[in-house]
Structure 1
Amino acid sequence: MTPRLMRRLRSVGLYAAGAAVFVFAVFPVYWMVATALKPQSEIFAPTPTLVPQAPTLEHFERVLSGVLIPGTSFWSFLTNSLIVTLGSVAVASVFALLAAVAVARFRFRLRTAFVVLLLIIQMVPMEAIIISLFLNFRQLELSTGLELIGNLSSVLIVYIAVSLPITIMFLRGFVAAVPRELEEAAAIDGAGHWTVFWRVLFPLVAPGMVAASIFAFITAWNEFIVAFVFLQTNSESYTLPVSLSYYFGRTGTEWGPIMAASTLLTIPVMAFFLFVQRRMVSGLTMGAVKG
């Protein structure tokens, strides 16, 4: 077998593997959209079909009308999800960047213990602490008179706390990768600490903030258990994932509305990713030029 033929066979194998991975990743999304467009009779037909035979938008109309939960609508769920998601991403990104700079650039007592604590926190599943979190917020509500349970503020606080450890660790690597010589050169030229931070360090770390914000956005957007536990008493504060649970009834599961709502739930994530992807590329280019 000639080397040229081996290269061709290797290329064919790589393309075949790539195509298989692509189909494996994309097919669930396609099936979700296809099921959302199928009428109820076709969804439960004995022989499943890959392509909807009689496409319909009835499931989308039902989801958007919000008839399942009286006094609410899909748009209120969407607004609630955007509030807690964008709010947690913005706050966590700012505080995580400052903490990452402190951990990567400064030496202080218990710095190693702080980093280890961040790693340990990430290992604890939310299911293990959700009950204690709820009881603590309930006790705080009773002692202060603040309305926390059934309010988006409690979910926002938890989302920020959950996003901070992984975001700090993620940005710590970006900050540590920036050569100290760049900051020292700016300091020699007379730049102060904040000038060095904004003009030198921040542009180089900005791509890392974008990547971390994508992770934090997806995590908060898809989160269910915290929102379900904390918002159960107030249906007007439900997020989109919580509203989906109402399509799982005692008598059966309404797959059409579930797939339609899941399709609508996916659109903001895709839009956010496409939006920040351009910023990520421009940030990488800007950082390379400044470096």
Structure 2
Amino acid sequence: MVLSALKPKTALDAGDSTPWTLTPSLDSFARVLSVNNFGQYFMNSLIVALSVVVLSTALAFLAAVALTRYTFKMRTKLLIIILVAQMVPIEALTIPLFFLFKGFGDAIPAIGLNHLGSLILVHMGFSIPFAIWMLRGFVAAVPIELEEAAKLDGASSFRFVRSVLFPLVAPGVVACSVFSFISTWNDFLFAKTFIISAQENSTMPMALLTFFKPDQNDWGAIMAGSVIMTIPVLIFFIAVQRKLVSGLAGAVKG
């Protein structure tokens, strides 16, 4: 992808199959960055991805604590419902979700079609069930004796969750946040379905459509845009790498 992005446009158009070039060029990156509202597309993707990461991991953590540490009516059935929600293919839900958010928009425009709120909500709906199941193992692995000791010291349930439990399961939270960020950042299906006419609310994958043309695709710009899309994911991954490795190791043990 990087090598194709650095190839001159003439070499790509001529069908040059060599994986390298002796005359690298940044023209493809310049064409991508010159797209109208490119910065807005980038910020939209960043807003949606970060919102999903923060909200979905926070809600999933609290739900995992409730489903693991407390006993209440229909807890098992709720766990089964969460599991079933992960089994339904995204493609099968796209049309029903379209009409659902169309109805939401009539009541609350901010979460309706053509708004970033619809993308945030739908990705939260798919990220939370996975995160709950993953975090349950981390929460269950924390000894109950720690909670009992905290209560003896006068800590409330909320204080125990915030000051003791959360730091211990932080690697799992980080692992969930990485999966949520990647799936949201790379989303094309929902962005294409929900953002119909409001181009100012388009995301980065939608910006790449500019270079797909009926007569000839601009593969250099497509590859350059894909490289630019990958950079935030790499930065996010490097920033949480240590926590992610320990989190995945904890998930395997669980």
The TM-score with structure 2 as length reference comes to: 0.92
Please report how far the alpha carbon of residue 139 of structure 1 lies from its aligned counterpart in structure 2 after TM superposition. 2.2
CA contact 2:48–2:116 (8 Å) conserved in 1: yes
Q: Please state if 1:236 is matched with 2:185.
A: no
Letter in structure 2 aligned against 1:122: Q
Root mean square deviation of aligned Cα: 1.9
Give how far 1:145 is off.
6.2
Deviations 1:107-160 (A, max 9, x none): 111111111111111111111111111111112323x26252111111111111
Instruction: Supply the distance in 2 between the matched residues of 1:184 and 1:53 (Cα, whole angstroms).
Output: 67
| Change beyond 3 A, Cα 1:200–1:219 | same
CA spacing shift, 1:50–1:179, aligned 2, 3 Å: same
SS at match of 1:244: helix
Query: For 1:257, what is the secondary structure of its paired residue?
Result: helix
Larger radius of gyration between Structure 1 and Structure 2? 1
User: Structure 1 residues 62 and 233 mapped into 2: Cα distance closer, same or farther (>3 Å)?
Assistant: same
Aligned to 1:97: 61
**Equivalent residues in 2 for 1:34-73, closer than 5 Å:** 34-66=3-35, 72-73=36-37
Q: 1:267 aligns with which of 216, 224, 231?
A: 231
Looking at structure 2, the residues matched to 201 and 267 of structure 1 have their Cα atoms a distance apart, in angstroms, of 33
- Conserved 8 A contact 2:134-2:172: yes
Q: How far did 1:194 drift? A: 1.7
Structure 1's consecutive aligned runs of 4 or more residues displaced over 6 angstroms after TM superposition are 281-284
Secondary structure of the equivalent of 2:109?
A: coil
* SS of aligned partner of 2:68: helix
In structure 2, how many angstroms separate the alpha carbons of the residues matched to 1:130 and 1:46? 37
Of 191, 205, 213, which aligns to 1:249? 213
Q: Structure 1 stretch 241-250 or stretch 151-160: which is displaced more?
A: 241-250
* Residue 4 of structure 1: aligned partner: none
1:108 corresponding residue in structure 2:
72
Cα pair distance change 1:117/1:33, threshold 3 Å: same
Aligned pairs (5 A) from 1:172-251: 172-251=136-215
- By relative contact order (CA 8 Å, sep 6+), the higher-ranking structure is 2
Q: Is the 8 A contact 2:41 2:201 kept in 1?
A: yes
Extract unaligned runs of 5+ from structure 2: none
Q: What is the CA distance between 1:245 and its match in structure 2?
A: 2.3
Deviations 1:41-89 (A, max 9, x none): 21244551122121111110000010xxxxx322111100000000011
Instruction: Indicate if the aligned counterparts of 1:149 and 1:233 stay in contact, CA closer than 8 A.
Output: no
What's 1:141 paired with?
Answer: 105
Query: Percent sequence identity over matched residues?
Result: 46
Secondary structure at 1:250's aligned position in 2? coil
Give the equivalent residue in structure 2 for 1:9: none
The size of the alignment, in residue pairs, is 248
Q: Structure 2: which amino acid aligns with 1:262?
A: S
Question: Equivalent residue for 1:158?
Answer: 122
Secondary structure at the aligned position of 2:73 is classed as coil
